[in-house]
Amino acid sequence: MIFELDVLILLLLIPAAVMALQIRDLLAASMAFGIYSFLMCLLWAEMGAVDVAFTEAAVGAGVSAVFLIATVYCTKRKSSD
Amino acid sequence: MMKKLAGIVVFMVGLLLFYGVSNVDDFPGWGDPDSPANASPLSQYFITDTIKDSEVPNMVTAVLADYRGYDTMFETVVIFIAGIAIFAVVRVSRNNSPVCGGNKDDEPDLIITTTCRLLVPVIQIFALYVLAHGHSSPGGGFQGGVIMGASFILVAVAWDLDTALGRFSEKAAIACAGLGIIIYAGFGLASMFYGEEFLNYGITHKLLPGVESPEMARYYGMLGVEVGVMFTVTSVMFLIYGLLSTRGRMSGGL
């Protein structure tokens, strides 16, 4: 575990999480969600939980983001609330 | 008004969490061998005896697919149910719902299709590697299945969904999703057939050809159930993508 890298990833996680919730453009929100998942994957890999990191990379950052983008494609891109 | 109230509540909860974790001495150090999770007899057993029990170097896979086999089996069932639920909710049989997305008559882009032609076989072989190598390195049925499903999704994105359905039809996807669970449960039942508990693969060395010891039977039993998991996950991932990207029409779309 590298402390500096940990702090850097955790600091990047916060804007990614806030962006995924706050941004009006739903496509950008799904991308922010993917970024969040990828950062979590990095965090797990860096802590030595490679199996979990692998699952997060495949499911969270990969397929979930694709599902969200595919769903946004069938609705409006702008959030109304 | 409500937003401000919600903001205050979130802030208070955040403060509470910070207060909860502020006393660092309450938590064990990172990787501390004396922490409750590491010092428990169960963890020690997994670390020392996994290789003796099942000849599997990656103890995460051994815990997932053998010691905790029930859990993984019903995780697979949960994924299957998720796919079937999305199918039941989203799928429409009549084709009069509005088309979403771009023009269906657009030719697929040459650069993208050529790149995908090169990439898809590599992705699929990597998925099989992740599946087969899940015993000795990180990986396994779930990850391999998702990667395999992603390769079909890539075909659907680069060409269109009909091209992907030509290779892996909707009926085949649903059948494979069920088949995966049947494979998993079948390995469990095979060990019951020889008088052991459900999912206790050790005894299946009498059934599998070329497997002498119960340890190797556990090894191959785990591989078998991972194959089942992969079948289910691959088909459900592809099915969910197809349904979500076309508003349940399973044609046209992205």
- Whether residue B22 is predicted with pLDDT greater than 90 in this model: the reply is no
| Chain B residues near residue A55 by CB distance under 8 angstroms | 142-143, 146
Which residue has 């797990």 as its token pair? A44
- Whether residue B30 is predicted with pLDDT greater than 80 in this model: the reply is no
* B237–A63 C-beta distance less than 8 A: yes
* Range with the largest mean pLDDT of A59-68, B14-23, B156-165: A59-68
* B146–A63 C-beta distance less than 8 A: yes
What is the distance in angstroms between the Cα of A58 and the nearest Cα belonging to chain B? 6
Confirm if A46 and A6 have CB atoms less than 8 A apart: yes
pLDDT for residue B98 = 62
pLDDT for residue B54 = 82
* A70–B245 C-beta distance less than 8 A: yes
Cα B10–chain centre separation: 33
pLDDT mean over B112-128: 93
Structure tokens at B167: 């290779």
Which of these ranges, B75-84, B206-215, B218-227, has the smallest mean pLDDT?
B206-215
| Chain B residues near residue A50 by CB distance under 8 angstroms | 138
What is the distance in angstroms between the Cα of A67 and the nearest Cα belonging to chain B? 6
Helices (H), B194-213: none
ipTM of the complex: 0.86
**Residue A35 located in a structural domain:** yes
Predicted confidence (pLDDT) per residue in B124-155, tens digit: 999 999 998 888 888 888 899 999 999 999 99
Those residues whose C-beta lies under 8 Å from the C-beta of residue A67, and which sit 6 or more positions away, are B240, B241, B244
* Minimum Cα–Cα distance from B246: chain A residue: A74
pLDDT for residue B128 = 93
Domains of chain B by residue range: 72-92+108-254
pLDDT mean over B167-181: 91
Specify the number of domains making up chain A: 1
Those residues whose C-beta lies under 8 Å from the C-beta of residue B197, and which sit 6 or more positions away, are B191
Q: What is the DSSP letter of A78?
A: B
pLDDT mean over B109-119: 90
**Residue A49 located in a structural domain:** yes
- Band the pLDDT of B174: cuts 50, 70, 90: very high
Q: A18 touching B, CB under 8 A?
A: no
pLDDT for residue B101 = 56
What is the distance in angstroms between the Cα of B61 and the nearest Cα belonging to chain A? 9
Percentage of chain B with pLDDT > 70?
94
Predicted confidence (pLDDT) per residue in B59-86, tens digit: 888 888 888 888 999 999 999 999 999 9
| Chain B residues near residue A1 by CB distance under 8 angstroms | 30-31
- Whether residue B163 is predicted with pLDDT greater than 90 in this model: the reply is no
* Range with the largest mean pLDDT of A38-42, B54-58, B94-98: A38-42
pLDDT mean over B163-187: 90
* A47–B240 C-beta distance less than 8 A: no
pLDDT for residue B180 = 92
**Residue A63 located in a structural domain:** yes
**Residue A78 located in a structural domain:** no
| Chain B residues near residue A54 by CB distance under 8 angstroms | 130, 138-139, 143
**Residue A25 located in a structural domain:** yes
- Whether residue A70 is predicted with pLDDT greater than 80 in this model: the reply is yes
Q: Please give the Cα distance from B226 to B235 (Å, whole number).
A: 14
**Residue A59 located in a structural domain:** yes
Nearest by CB to residue A70, choosing from B30, B147, B244, is: B244
Q: A58 touching B, CB under 8 A?
A: yes
Q: Please give the Cα distance from B75 to B64 (Å, whole number).
A: 11
- Whether residue B57 is predicted with pLDDT greater than 90 in this model: the reply is no
- Band the pLDDT of B15: cuts 50, 70, 90: very high
- Choose between B160 and B7: higher pLDDT: B7
Q: A22 touching B, CB under 8 A?
A: no
**Residue A81 located in a structural domain:** no
Size of interface A-B (CB pairs under 8 A): 61
> Domain range holding A57?
3-73
**Residue A27 located in a structural domain:** yes
- Whether residue B232 is predicted with pLDDT greater than 90 in this model: the reply is yes
- Whether residue B102 is predicted with pLDDT greater than 60 in this model: the reply is no
Closest CA to A55 of B195, B179, B134, B250: B134
* A58–B101 C-beta distance less than 8 A: no
Q: What is the DSSP letter of B31?
A: T
- Whether residue B45 is predicted with pLDDT greater than 80 in this model: the reply is yes
**Side-chain half-sphere exposure of A74, counting CA atoms within 13 A:** 21
Predicted confidence (pLDDT) per residue in A17-67, tens digit: 988 888 888 899 999 999 999 999 999 998 888 889 998 999 988 899 999
